[in-house]
């Protein structure tokens, strides 16, 4: 079991503030003909608040609390001998969630004997809160690492948020920034 300490982030020029923490487990590791797959389950507590003109929390704009299962599937490509794959949400109890029918391509996978790292590029786009009952199209790209620190597993997720033009899928670096998410074994 890994735990993510509370992470606070702001969106939409300080009009929204999110509070996030989770518990994470990895399971169902299966070796396939050319690679492997596994599931990541997160029990998440995430609330996004509306902020008033003084930056004080008023009402909950979005509640993303729930349990989600993500499937990672990777395989070695015969043409390049590189490990690539995808990640997608398999199931969730989160109400009004934004991960349905979203997948991330995985590439730049490297294991140096001490840590496993990769990059994720979200395909197409997903919804992100922009206010009370409003959303905007965005995509998350991220760098991910799994490593040991003092004998304990650490999962590091470093997201980059892009605003997406839905008709052309053109990405522009978003003005909104998400902080790193660091999950550590208890």
Q: Burial level of 52, CB count in 10 A (0-12/13-18/19+)?
A: exposed
Is this prediction's pTM over 0.85? yes
* Spatial contact of 146 and 116, defined as CB atoms under 8 Å apart: yes
b/e code 123-149 from CB counts within 10 Å (16+ = b): eebbbbbbeeeeebbbbbbbebebeee
| Long-range contacts at 101-108 (CB < 8 A, ≥ 24 apart) | 102/126, 104/140, 104/142, 106/72, 106/74, 107/82
pLDDT in tens, the chain (186 residues): 999 999 999 999 999 999 999 999 999 999 999 999 999 999 999 999 999 999 999 999 999 999 999 999 999 999 999 999 999 999 999 998 888 899 999 999 999 999 999 999 999 999 998 887 889 999 999 999 999 999 999 999 999 999 999 999 999 999 999 999 999 998
């Amino acid at each position: 079991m890994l735990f993510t300490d509370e992470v606070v982030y702001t969106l939409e020029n300080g009009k929204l503030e999110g509070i996030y923490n989770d518990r994470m487990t990895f399971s169902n590791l299966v070796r396939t003909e050319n690679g492997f797959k596994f599931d990541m389950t997160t029990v998440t507590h995430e609330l996004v608040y509306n902020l008033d003109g003084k930056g004080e929390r008023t009402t909950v704009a979005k509640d993303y609390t729930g349990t989600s299962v993500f499937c990672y599937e990777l395989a070695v490509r015969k043409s390049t001998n590189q490990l690539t794959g995808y990640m997608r949400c398999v199931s969730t109890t989160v109400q009004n969630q934004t991960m349905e029918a979203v997948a991330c391509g995985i590439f730049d996978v490297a294991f140096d004997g001490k840590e496993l790292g990769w990059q994720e590029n979200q395909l197409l786009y997903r919804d992100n809160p922009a206010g009370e009952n409003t959303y905007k199209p965005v995509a998350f790209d991220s760098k991910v690492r799994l490593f040991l620190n003092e004998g304990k597993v650490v999962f590091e997720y470093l997201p980059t948020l892009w605003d997406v033009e839905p008709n052309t899928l053109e990405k522009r670096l978003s003005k909104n920034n998400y902080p790193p998410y660091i999950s550590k074994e208890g």
